[in-house]
Amino acid sequence: MPLTPFDPAAATLVAGWAAGDATVVRAWTAIDADAIPPEVVAGWSAEDDVEAFVFSESTDGPPVAYGELWLDHDDGDVELAHLLVAPERRDRGVGRVFVRALAEHARRSHPELPLVLLRVQPENARAIRAYAAAGFVDVPADEQATWNHGQRFAYHWMVLPNR
């Protein structure tokens, strides 16, 4: 299942996966809107310490998922972020396979960043199940508030255990 670097030319496709659905946009970006402009999606991959990827189910298939690695060398972690699956591929295990592939890429490409983590809106039970199925575990409940210090929202934090 191919994981390939994101080409900003695919931003319209990726942005379209959430267009018109404020619930999906909020879960994806923590922004209250009913769409994210393609130029915003394209700009994410241009940020320093961000690596963006798309995922296809076959070598010649179209992208069906998008996500980023946010590299934080100061804190020694890599965060999986802006994870989104095409609507027609949701609830079919694509998210789980994609997140697993992205996390493995993070570990293989950035061994200097031992902590692999992600955050999710607490009400996004579908995503939490997918992340757990991909191997992520909840940050202990008594630590969630510490991890949320300074955040705009109270997220649900998960980490990938060390092997």
CB 135 within 8 A of CB 100: yes
Measured in degrees and rounded to the nearest 5, phi and psi for residue 108 equal -70, -40
pLDDT at 12 over 70: yes
pLDDT at 68 over 80: yes
pLDDT at 163 over 70: no
Beta-carbon neighbour count of residue 61 at 10 Å? 11
pLDDT of residue 1: 58
Q: 91 falls in which pLDDT band (50, 70, 90)?
A: confident
**Could you tell me where the DSSP H helices lie in 45-117?**
94-109
Place of tokens 């179209």: 62
Q: Is residue 122 in a domain? A: no
Q: What is the mean pLDDT of residues 31-40?
A: 93
116-132 in b/e burial notation, b at 16+ Cβ within 10 A? bbbbbbeebeebbebbe
DSSP 47: S
Range of the domain at 96: 3-115
List beta partners, residue 69: 51, 80
Q: What is the mean pLDDT of residues 108-121?
A: 95
pLDDT at 3 over 90: yes
Q: What is the mean pLDDT of residues 4-17?
A: 96
Q: Is residue 38 in a domain? A: yes
Provide the domain count of the chain: 1
What letter represents residue 137's amino acid? V
pLDDT at 76 over 70: yes
Which CATH number characterizes residue 50's domain?
Answer: 3.40.630.30
Q: What is the mean pLDDT of residues 148-152?
A: 91
Beta strands in 57-146 (DSSP E): 63-72, 77-85, 115-120, 137-138
Q: Is residue 103 in a domain? A: yes
